[in-house]
């Protein structure tokens, strides 16, 4: 199937002032575009996954080996050197590290996805909004493929996997929603402000250490803990650790707040993307 033949989308929303109706229209157009171009998205996601490790000797195995290598290094640093007193620390670390890799990879690849797809974007009938969605969906698929490794790893450390695991699909869907907004904004903005692709790398490094991934939230001084949990990622990844490591259902009120935040961010990012969409071909 030709990408050109199966793609047809509006050329971008007019640069009109933001209103409730225009926001709803933009979000509706995005959802409609995903449904209409679902076959195209599936083709591009499959292509991304095939090309990711093409030509490498180990191929798909790198999907499993990359997080394992990171886990071994961080375990050495935080468990051996810093001597964090956490039982089965590698299992605790892995339960937060895999969602973080999914999030950070989506942002780092998403910020350049319009530039990387310049050959497609300059085709007048190509729906550019699918490119950020393809990046995020590809990384989501990569995360899902690593879940069997995570489960095997937790069982190897005798971590109890109980009914709380049933809450895992909710967290996965919530992370997809929370990540889609930033990916859309970064992809659109980076076309005109290309320093952003370098800035985001440093921002992610800061966020990685300010988010309780390497350490439990209980290690944060009590006076600073409310401020730490203003970080949405702290709430989300602590919930992943609750489900995967602590075998407990996370508190639902913070997750409801995250859901509302995700919806608001998606609405805003869709408007921003629609406003810049018609200028992509000229800027590339």
Model pLDDT, residue 12: 43
Q: Is the pLDDT of residue 171 over 90?
A: yes
Q: Is residue 257 part of a domain?
A: yes
Tell me phi and psi for residue 267, to 5 degrees. -60, -45
Q: Is residue 6 part of a domain?
A: no
pTM higher than the cut 0.85:
yes
Whether residue 129 contacts residue 135, with contact meaning beta carbons closer than 8 Å, is answered with no
Tell me phi and psi for residue 249, to 5 degrees. -75, 125
What is the spatial distance between Cα 70 and Cα 75, in angstroms, rounded to a whole number? Answer: 8
Q: Is residue 144 part of a domain?
A: yes
Q: Is residue 192 part of a domain?
A: yes
Confidence of residue 93 (pLDDT cuts 50, 70, 90): very high
Q: How many domains does the chain have?
A: 1
Q: Is the pLDDT of residue 45 over 70?
A: yes
Q: Is residue 98 part of a domain?
A: yes
- Provide the residue range defining the domain that includes 262: 23-283
Q: Is residue 4 part of a domain?
A: no
User: Which of 52-61, 110-119, 230-239: highest mean pLDDT?
Assistant: 230-239
Mean pLDDT of 206-217: 93
Confidence of residue 119 (pLDDT cuts 50, 70, 90): confident
Q: Is residue 14 part of a domain?
A: no
Burial category of 161 from C-beta neighbours within 10 Å (exposed 0-12, middle 13-18, buried 19 and up)? middle
Confidence of residue 58 (pLDDT cuts 50, 70, 90): low
Q: Is residue 143 part of a domain?
A: yes
């Amino acid at each position: 199937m030709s990408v050109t033949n199966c793609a047809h989308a509006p050329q971008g929303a007019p640069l009109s002032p933001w209103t409730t109706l225009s926001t709803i229209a933009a979000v509706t157009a995005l959802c409609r575009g995903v449904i209409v171009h679902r076959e195209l998205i599936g083709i591009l996601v499959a292509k991304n996954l095939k090309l990711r490790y093409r030509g490498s000797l180990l191929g798909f195995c790198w999907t499993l080996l990359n997080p394992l290598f990171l886990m071994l290094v961080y375990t050495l640093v935080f468990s051996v050197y810093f001597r964090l007193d956490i039982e089965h620390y590698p299992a605790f670390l892995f339960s937060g590290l895999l969602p973080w890799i999914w999030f950070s990879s989506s942002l780092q690849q998403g910020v350049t996805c319009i530039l990387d797809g310049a050959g497609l974007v300059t085709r007048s009938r190509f729906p550019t909004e699918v490119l950020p969605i393809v990046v995020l969906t590809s990384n989501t698929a990569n995360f899902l493929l690593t879940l069997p490794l995570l489960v095997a790893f937790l069982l190897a450390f005798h971590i109890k996997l109980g009914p709380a695991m049933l809450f895992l699909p909710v967290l996965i869907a919530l992370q997809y929603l929370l990540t889609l907004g930033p990916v859309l904004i970064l992809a659109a903005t980076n076309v005109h402000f290309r320093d952003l692709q370098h800035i985001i790398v440093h921002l992610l490094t800061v966020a990685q250490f300010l988010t309780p991934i390497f350490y439990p939230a209980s290690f944060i001084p009590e006076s600073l803990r409310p401020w730490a949990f203003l970080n949405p990622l702290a709430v989300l990844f602590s919930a992943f650790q609750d489900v995967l490591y602590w075998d407990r259902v996370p508190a639902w009120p913070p997750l409801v707040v995250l859901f509302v935040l995700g919806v608001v961010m998606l609405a805003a990012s869709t408007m921003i993307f629609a406003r810049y969409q018609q200028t992509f071909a000229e800027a590339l």
